[in-house]
Amino acid sequence: MDSRKKWLLAVMLFVGGGVSYLDRAVLSVLAPLVVKDLNLNPASLGIVFSVFFVGYAFCCMAGGMAADRFGPRKVIIWTMLLWSLFCGLTGVAVSFATLLVVRLLFGMAEGPFLSTSNKLICNWFPVTQRSTGISIAMSGTTLGASIAGPIAGYLAMVHGWRVAFAIIALFGVIWTIGFMMVAKDRPDQSPVSELDAVAVKIGDKRSIWSYMSNPAVLATAIGYFGFAYLLYFFLSWFPSYLTMERHLSLKEMSLVSVIPWVMGFFGYMSGGLITDALCRKTGRALYSRKIVLVTSLLVAGICVGLAGGASTVAMAAGLMGVSVFFLYVSANCYFAIILDMVEQSRVGAVGGFIHMVANFAGVLAPAITGFIVQGTGAFLSAFLLAGAVALVGSFSVAILVPRGPKMGDEYAAQQPART
C-alpha cells in the first residue's frame, strides 16, 4: 500500500508544481498587456520580475527548516494557499509600486514549495528511486509553464488580464483540498531500508551551518544557480523576446513559447530515469547524479548562447527547446545530490539553502536582462550571459562534488557476518 501511496504523492506534487509554474509564468505571458496598462518600461518590468525572486529566495531555506521541524505536509498546504491568494491579487495592481509589493509577497509564499517537496520525497523514496521520484514530482513545473501561454492568453483575450489572474488563482485552492485528503509526512512504517543505509554522508548530526560551508554543497548550490539563471532568464523574458525582437503577436507568442516547455517536461522525466538507471548500474549514487548534471548543464549553456544568434524564429525556438530539454535532464540531480550527502533530519534545511542560493538568480537574471535590453536594444548579450553562467555552474560541480563510495561496498561492510 505504501508503495502505491508514494507514487500517488509524487503525482500530487507533479500537479502542485504545475500550478506553481502556471501561477508564476502568467505575468511573463501577459507582460505586454500589463506593461501597456501600467505604463512600464523594460527596466521596470525586469525589476517586477526580479522582486518575486527576492521573496522567493529568502523563504526557500525557511520553508525547508520548517518542513524539518513541523513536517512537510503542513508547510506545503500553507504555502499553496498563500501564493494562490497573492496570484489573484496580482490582478488588482494599479501601479508599479503595488505590483512590486504583491509580487514580493507572492514570491515569499512560493519559496518553500520545492525544498519542502524534496523533504517529502526523501521521506517516502529509497535512494535508487529518488531521482525518479523527484523528476515526477517536479516535472509538473514544466507542464505548468507550457500551458501558461495558451491558458493565460485565452483568459486575457476573453476576460482581460486582471480577471485571468483571479481565475488561475483558484487552481491552487482546488489542489490544496485534494492534497490534504491524500498526503502524509511519511509512510505508516518507514524503517531504514538497505538503500537508505548506503546513502553517502558528508557527516552525521552536523549543524546546518557546517553543511552550508562544505565544498560539495557549495558547488551544488553554484551549479543550481547556473541552472536557475538560465531558467529564469527564459521564464521571464522569452515571451517578451518573441514579441519585442521577433515581432510575434500575443497569440503566436503563446503557441511558440509552449515548445521549449514541452521539451523541458520530457527532459525532466527522462533525467530521473537516466540518473537512477546509472545509479543502479554503477552502484555510485552521487557519481551518477554528478555525471548527468555536469553533462546536461554544459549542453544547455551552449545551446542558449547559440539561440541568441539564431537567424529565424524557428531556429531560436528549436535551440531554446534543446537547451531547456537538457537543462531539465539535470533538474533532479541538485536535490538528489543533497539527499545522497545529508542526513535525513537536515535535508529540508540544506535543500532549502541550495534552493535559496539558486533563486538569487531569479533576482538577478530578469533585472540584468531588462537593463541589457534597454541599453543595447537587443537580446543577444543576455542570451550569451545566461549560457556563460550555466557553464560556470557545470564546471563547479565537475570540480568540487566527489564521486562518492560505491553503494555495494559500503552496504556489504555494514552487514553481519554470515554463519
Inter-CA distances, 214 with 67, 211, 284, 338, Å: 22, 5, 20, 11
Calculate mean pLDDT across residues 215-233. Answer: 92
Q: What is the pTM of this model?
A: 0.75
Q: Which domain holds residue 113?
A: 2-186+199-403
The closest alpha carbon to 296, from 275, 277, 317, 310, belongs to: 275
Question: For every residue of the chain, which 3-state class applies, written as one string?
Answer: CHHHHHHHHHHHHHHHHHHHHHHHHHHHHCHHHHHHHHCCCHHHHHHHHHHHHHHHHHHHHHHHHHHHHHCHHHHHHHHHHHHHHHHHHHCCCCCHHHHHHHHHHHHHHHCCHHHHHHHHHHHHCCHHHHHHHHHHHHHHHHHHHHHHHHHHHHHHHHHCHHHHHHHHHHHHHHHHHHHHHHCCCCCCCCCCCHHHHCCCCCCCCCCHHHHHCCHHHHHHHHHHHHHHHHHHHHHHHHHHHHHHCCCCCHHHHHHHCHHHHHHHHHHHHHHHHHHHHHHHHHCCHHHHHHHHHHHHHHHHHHHHHHHCCCCCHHHHHHHHHHHHHHHHHCHHHHHHHHHHHCCHHHHHHHHHHHHHHHHHHHHHHHHHHHHHHHHHCCCHHHHHHHHHHHHHHHHHHHHHCCCCCCHHHHHHHHCCCCC
Kindly tell me the burial class for residue 353, based on how many C-beta atoms sit within 10 Å of its own C-beta (0-12, 13-18, 19 or more).
buried
Site of grid cell 521564464: 235
On whether residue 414 sits in a domain, the answer given is: no
Q: What is the mean pLDDT of the chain?
A: 82
Per-residue pLDDT of 254-280, as tens digits, reads 677 677 777 888 888 888 889 888 988
Q: Residues 340, 342, 348, CA angle at the centre, nearest 5°?
A: 110
191 against 168, higher pLDDT: 168
Point out the least confidently predicted range of 43-52, 327-336, 349-358.
Answer: 43-52
Instruction: Provide the sign of the torsion angle of the four alpha carbons 358, 334, 73, 181, taken in this order.
Output: positive
Q: Provide the pLDDT confidence category of residue 225 given band limits of 50, 70 and 90.
A: very high
On whether residue 416 sits in a domain, the answer given is: no
On whether residue 409 sits in a domain, the answer given is: no
17 phi, psi to nearest 5 deg: -65, -35
The closest alpha carbon to 79, from 95, 67, 94, 96, belongs to: 67
d(CA 395, CA 286): 16
Instruction: Provide the sign of the torsion angle of the four alpha carbons 237, 319, 145, 183, taken in this order.
Output: negative
Q: Provide the pLDDT confidence category of residue 329 given band limits of 50, 70 and 90.
A: very high
Q: State residue 106's pLDDT score.
A: 92
Calculate mean pLDDT across residues 29-43. Answer: 81
Q: Provide the pLDDT confidence category of residue 416 given band limits of 50, 70 and 90.
A: very low
Q: What percent of the chain clears pLDDT 90, i.e. is strictly above it?
A: 23
For residue 71, the one-letter residue type is G
Name, in order, each residue with C-beta under 8 angstroms of 178's C-beta and a sequence gap of 6 or more.
Answer: 12, 15
On whether residue 193 sits in a domain, the answer given is: no
The closest alpha carbon to 293, from 341, 339, 266, 331, belongs to: 331
Q: What percent of the chain clears pLDDT 70, i.e. is strictly above it?
A: 91
On whether residue 413 sits in a domain, the answer given is: no
Name, in order, each residue with C-beta under 8 angstroms of 419's C-beta and a sequence gap of 6 or more.
Answer: none
Q: Residues 327, 17, 64, CA angle at the centre, nearest 5°?
A: 90
On whether residue 411 sits in a domain, the answer given is: no
On whether residue 415 sits in a domain, the answer given is: no
pLDDT at residue 289 tops 80: yes
Calculate mean pLDDT across residues 65-88. Answer: 90
147 against 405, higher pLDDT: 147
CATH number of the domain enclosing 395? 1.20.1250.20
The closest alpha carbon to 26, from 97, 75, 99, belongs to: 99
Calculate mean pLDDT across residues 114-136. Answer: 84
On whether residue 191 sits in a domain, the answer given is: no
The three three-digit cell numbers of residue 405, written as one number:
563510495
Site of grid cell 517536479: 138
Count of structural domains, the chain = 1
